Structure formats: structure tokens, C-alpha cells
Amino acid sequence: MWSPFSLLSLAALLIPSQALYFYIDGPTQKCFFEELPKDTLVVGTFSATQWNDQSRSYGTNPDMGIFITVDEVFDNDHRVVSQRGSHTGKFTFSAADSGLHRLCFTPTNVPATTGLLFSGSSAGGIKFDLDLAIGETSAIESSDKDKLGEVVQKVRDLNARLLDIRREQIFQREREAEFRDQSEAVNGRVVRWTLIQLAVLGVTCAWQLSYLRAFFIKQKVV
């Protein structure tokens, strides 16, 4: 049986893009029904907080998780989304065919507690904030604009870094080529000097042998 607050929340969901919040009694399931045309893209952003008796307010519980399911009621409750995550996050799906869809949210790792409203009346122990963008591509693109900008900036930084590395590689190759040319020039000079020394040594030896031969002949040794 739907309560007046649930019917009001359901009516709010019929708006293409709508932010709302509702209360859940601990780890119980909360469901909505949505009639969607075929190929309609739905993006939901959610955040759940838990009632704290000490602070008398709703606050973040890092241990709390949210189990999200989306079923196609018109197709024997065929499940198109089954997602487990933290107390805050996003879910996305596209309607494969026109018909009634059931969206359900179940808190996990939480006790069955109740909270209080400002009026003093009791409410569920979990406050669930939900923002749905239904079939609004512009709204979805706007919500992801900052993330896309960060990715583009990172790609630009990476490209700039790659260009720096490329220039460094070219510089290193030029230095290596210059060092190789210098080494080859030095080696060439060393080889030429060695050949000159050998030639001089050969000429000197030949002259000494010729001189000694002439000396011995003169002395009638030979």
C-alpha cells in the first residue's frame, strides 16, 4: 500500500529531470514505477545518510551500501540493472523497449532505526537523496562536463609530456651522432699517426741497415 509521501515522490519522478528525497526504514526496499519510452536514457545520482541519535541529525555512514535494481515490469520483471555500491554514486540504464519499469533502492549494513523530522514526527532511519535525468541528454552531458574536462586536460598534459620525451630523444640521438663523429675523427687521426710512425720507423730501419752494410763492407767484414 502506497503512502501519500510515496505517491508524491512517484509523481516527482515523472518529471524528466527531478531532484527529490525520501526516507527508508533501515534495510528495507523502496521502489518506484516509471513509464519509459523505448531507447530512453536514464541517469540517476544518489546519496544516502543515516540518522544519528547522538547528533539528532542525518549524517554520512561510510559502511552503508546501496543495492539498486531496475526491472522491466512489462517483460516478466526482467532485470536490467543490479548494482551494489557505496552510500553515494550513480547508475545508468537505457530502456530497451517501451513500458513500465520498477526502480528499487535497498540500504545495506544499516540497523533498523528511525529518525525524526523538524516537526518532531518520526521518519525512516535513512534519508535518500535522488536526482534523476530521464531522456535529457543535455542534462546528462552537463553533469559530466567537469569530468570530461578533467579527462581532456589529462590527455593534453600527456600529449605535452610525450612531445617533451620525443624532443629529448631527438636531442640525445643528435648528441650520440655528434659523439660518434668525434670518436671516428679521433680514431682516424690515431690510425693516420700510427701509419706515419710505422712509415718513419720503416724508413729509419732501412737507412740504418743500409748504413751498417756499407760500414761493414768498408771494414771488409763482409
- The residue ranges of DSSP E strands in the chain, in sequence order, are 17-24, 30-36, 41-52, 57-59, 65-72, 78-86, 88-94, 99-108, 114-116, 122-124, 126-134
Predicted model pTM: 0.53
pLDDT in tens, 175-199: 898 888 888 888 988 999 999 999 9
Residue 134 · residue 40 · CB < 8 Å = yes
Q: Tell me the pLDDT band of 216, cut-offs 50, 70 and 90.
A: confident
| 173 contact partners, CB below 8 Å, separation of at least 6 | none
pLDDT in tens, 11-48: 334 445 567 889 998 888 999 898 988 888 889 999 99
CA separation for the pair 220, 214 (Å, rounded): 10
CA separation for the pair 128, 32 (Å, rounded): 13
Reduce the secondary structure of 19-54 to three states and give it as a string: EEEEEECCCCCEEEEEEECCCCEEEEEEEEEEEECC
What DSSP line would sit under 137-153, residue for residue? HHHHHHHTHHHHHHHHH
Per the DSSP assignment, residues forming a β-bridge with 193 are: none
Of the candidates 67, 82, 61, the one whose C-alpha atom is nearest the C-alpha of residue 127 is 61
Residue 118 · residue 20 · CB < 8 Å = no
pLDDT in tens, 126-154: 999 999 888 755 455 555 666 777 888 88
